[in-house]
Amino acid sequence: MKKLFTIPLLALLFLTGCGDNDDTVAVAPTYKGTEQALGNGKAYSWVKFTADNKPTSIGFTLTKGALDNLPHGGVALVLSLPTEAVGKTPFDHIMLDYLHTGHEPPGVYDVGHFDMHFYMQPLAERKAIPVYEAAKAKFDNLPAAEYLPSNYIRLPAGVPEMGVHWANPASPELAGTGKFTETLIFGSYDGKVTFIEPMVTHEFLKSKPNLAKSVPVPAKFARAGYYPMQYTIKQVGDDIQVSLEGLMMMQ
């Protein structure tokens, strides 16, 4: 009788102990987009969430080799967001433009660099943007000042499939206090803010960067959503990660 009693008692104590410690831990997921070839490596988008399904950051990764063997003719690569993240942030897709000799204005941005557009505009709508001369009224229909960072200025004209670019005149390359390595651009088209764009030289990306800067926050937002408070450009192992961080719900 002693043995028959002892075994069930031990089993009961074991099961009770397991129940006390078996608290389910919620996982904060990261969802990854489709990998695409870039240089000798790959690029892919991702979005991170809290355990209760609130987005915290959106970005992309350049794997080892992605910065090598890039074509002199440039790259235009669309990174779709992971399906699990669609509609969870104001962003629709990411566009990586690599320009081997940069672009205008001369002496400022005419070095090899990436334009990294985080678009808040549907892909088809963005691709329909024509050259400036064909739609001056829409390019020149600017958002009200409170929807853009207060110190930003419009750059001349506009770019097809992109829109109008806005820059910080205090950035070193525009203020004449230093050369261009990285900067943060905003974009607009037909009265709406349409993208946030880290613009980064190829040389800076190859320098094992570890950059974190605040994103200037406008006074107003045209629609509610999770918007970034910071952007980062970091070497993580053999990869480069570029992200918009600290997403906060703005009304």
Q: What is the 3-state secondary structure (H, E, C) of 193-232?
A: EEEEEEEEEHHHHCCCCEEEEECCCCCCCCCCEEECCEEE
Q: What mean pLDDT comes out for the span 199-215?
A: 98
Task: State the pLDDT confidence band at 18, using cuts at 50, 70 and 90.
Answer: very low
Model pLDDT for residues 66-86, shown as the tens digit of each residue: 999 999 999 999 999 999 999
pTM for the full predicted model: 0.89
**pLDDT-derived band at 107, boundaries 50, 70, 90:** confident
pLDDT tens for each residue of 159-198: 999 999 999 999 999 999 999 999 999 999 999 999 999 9
Closest listed residue to residue 232, CA positions, set 222, 240, 242, 223: 242
Q: Phi and psi at residue 105, in whole multiples of 5°?
A: -80, 150
Q: What pLDDT band is residue 204 in, cutting at 50, 70 and 90?
A: very high
Q: Is the pLDDT of residue 14 over 80?
A: no
Confidence of residue 3 (pLDDT cuts 50, 70, 90): very low
Q: What angle do CA 167, 217, 131 make, to 5 degrees?
A: 40
